[in-house]
């Protein structure tokens, strides 16, 4: 059994999709980032960066439990554990890894900042909005160009697709028209039709707010005032 410390966000969906694809049993442990669950001492013990997702695999290497944070590292670990969606061949694995790291270092941070400036910031300024919207548009163009000649980012369906798909999923929040990227749109629909992707993307759907995206002032103070919060613990 794997404990998944989770909240329904793109980084969280990466892991639920992988777990569903691999058919691994898991127990969901909600981490309500709006209320500050990510600062609880028991969570910091497994995720010192106070970010979810994190896992505890009670059947880790050599049968000993393993705690792991960082979504990219978790995807690699689960791929190695199951032998699925993360090829053993060095050439093919390197191609998967370059797209995984591209997402972790580029698509996720840039799309996250775009989402923040467009939907969360009280006074974002046009420069911030334009800067990150343009960068998401560029990154979508990178994927669109590669997907012109292949069905998936690294050739075969892999953890690279699982890492990127959830961030493309919320494209409407970026002010970018996905239909302007024909090959990316086709990939998004193709991956989204996989039963495990649909199931993983719906995990804890009831926890997502039904109303406006922008959090209350109290929730925003928890989400975006994290240095002060950590120092107070």
pLDDT at 122: 84
Return averaged pLDDT per consecutive 10 residues of the chain, 233 residues in all.
Answer: 96 98 97 93 96 96 95 98 97 98 98 94 90 98 98 97 98 96 98 98 82 57 58 53
Whole-prediction pTM value?
Answer: 0.91
Task: Look at residue 232 in the predicted model and tell me its pLDDT.
Answer: 52
DSSP-assigned beta bridge partners for residue 91: none
Predicted pLDDT of residue 51: 95
Instruction: Give all domains of the chain, ordered by start, each with its CATH number.
Output: 2-84+199-232 (3.40.30.10), 90-194 (1.20.1050.10)
Distance CA 210, CA 132 (A): 26
């Amino acid at each position: 059994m794997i404990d998944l410390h989770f909240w329904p966000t793109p980084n969280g969906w990466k892991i639920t999709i992988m777990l569903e694809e691999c058919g691994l049993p898991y127990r969901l442990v909600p981490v309500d980032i709006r209320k500050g669950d990510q600062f609880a001492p028991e969570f910091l013990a497994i995720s010192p960066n106070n970010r979810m997702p994190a896992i505890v695999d009670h059947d880790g290497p050599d049968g000993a439990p393993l705690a792991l944070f960082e979504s990219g590292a978790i995807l690699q670990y689960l791929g190695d554990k199951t032998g699925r969606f993360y090829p053993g061949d060095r050439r093919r694995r390197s191609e998967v890894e370059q797209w995984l790291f591209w997402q972790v270092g580029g698509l996720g941070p840039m799309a996250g900042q775009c989402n923040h400036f467009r939907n969360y910031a009280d006074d974002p300024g046009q420069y911030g909005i334009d800067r990150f919207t343009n960068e998401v548009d560029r990154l979508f163009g990178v994927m669109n160009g590669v997907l012109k000649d292949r069905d998936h980012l690294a050739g075969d369906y892999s953890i690279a697709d699982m890492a990127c798909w959830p961030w493309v999923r919320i494209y409407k929040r970026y002010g970018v028209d996905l239909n302007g990227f024909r090959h990316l749109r086709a990939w998004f629909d193709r991956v989204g039709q996989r039963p495990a992707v649909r199931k993983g993307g719906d995990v804890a759907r009831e926890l997502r707010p039904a109303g406006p995206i922008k959090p209350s002032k109290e929730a925003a103070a928890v989400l975006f005032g994290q240095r002060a919060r950590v120092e107070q613990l």
